[in-house]
Amino acid sequence: MDKAWKKLGIHTGGITTTWLAGAGDPRRPLDKRVGELLQSSIDNNYRRFVGLVAQSRNLSQEQVENIAQGRVWTGRQARERGLVDTLGGLEDAIAHAAERAKLGDDYSVLYLEREARGLERYLSLFVAQVTGRLRAEVGAQLGWLGNALGATGRELRSDMAWIGKSDWSPFAAYSHCLCRLW
C-alpha cells in the first residue's frame, strides 16, 4: 500500500507513541490487534441485536439466528420472516406511537434540531452563497446558450430550469440524461 501512495507522490511521516495511534490511517496496513478489536465490537453488537430481536419477538436466539443469518433483509422480507409487524414510514410510526400512548387524534409533533454553530454554521452560509452564485451564473450562461443555439438551446434551458428553483440544494442528488439533445 505504501508503495502505491509514493507512486502518487504522497509521502507522510510522523512519530507515534502507541500501537493505536494512526490505526485508522488508510495508508497503513490494518494492525492485527485493531482488526481483532473491530471484529470483537461487530460480534458483540450482532449478539446484542439478535438478543433484542429474540426478546421482542418471543423467539429463542437460535430461532432468530436461523432467520437472520447475518443478512440484511428488505422490509417486505423481514415481514415475511416475522421480524416486523407492519411496514410504513415516519408518519405511520408517529401515528402508531400516538395510538399506543392513547393521545387521541389531537396531538402535535415537534421536531427538534440543534442550532448550527461554529464551522458548521460558517459552512452552511458559505454553501448558501455558492449556491446563489451558481444559480445566477448557470442561468446567465443558459440564457446566452439558448439564444445562440436556437431551438436546441431553448430545450436545454428548459431541461436545466431545475437549477433556478428556490428549493435546490447542493446536497441533493440530481440526474438528467439530456436525451432530447441527442
pLDDT band, residue 26 (cuts 50/70/90): confident
Is position 59 within any domain? Answer: yes
Please check whether residue 101 lies inside any domain of the structure: no
> Are the C-beta atoms of residues 48 and 34 closer than 8 Å to each other?
no
Q: pLDDT by residue (tens digit) across 5-20?
A: 677 777 777 777 887 8
Range of the domain at 11: 2-71
Final residue of a structural domain among 39, 71, 103:
71
Computed over its alpha carbons, how large is the radius of gyration of the chain? 27
Rounded-to-integer distance, Cα 131 and Cα 147, Å:
24
Q: Where are the beta strands (DSSP E) in 85-142?
A: none
pLDDT at 44 over 70: yes
In 10 A of CB 140, how many CB atoms?
10
- Is 76 part of any domain? no
Q: Is the pTM of this model over 0.75?
A: no
Per-residue confidence band for 51, with pLDDT thresholds at 50, 70 and 90: very high
Helix and strand counts by DSSP (H, E) for the chain:
7, 0
Helix axes 151-159, 118-149, angle to 10 degrees: 160
Smallest Cα–Cα separation from 5: which of 27, 32, 37?
A: 27
Residue 83 resides in a domain: no
In this structure, is residue 41 part of a structural domain? yes
What are the tens digits of pLDDT across the range 86-108?
899 889 999 999 999 999 988 99
Q: Which helix (H) or strand (E) holds 75?
A: helix 75-80
In this structure, what DSSP letter does residue 18 have? S
Cell of 161: 430550469
Residue tagged 508503495 (cell numbers):
3
Local confidence band at 111 (pLDDT 50, 70, 90 cut-offs): confident
pLDDT value for 153: 62
pLDDT of residue 182: 44
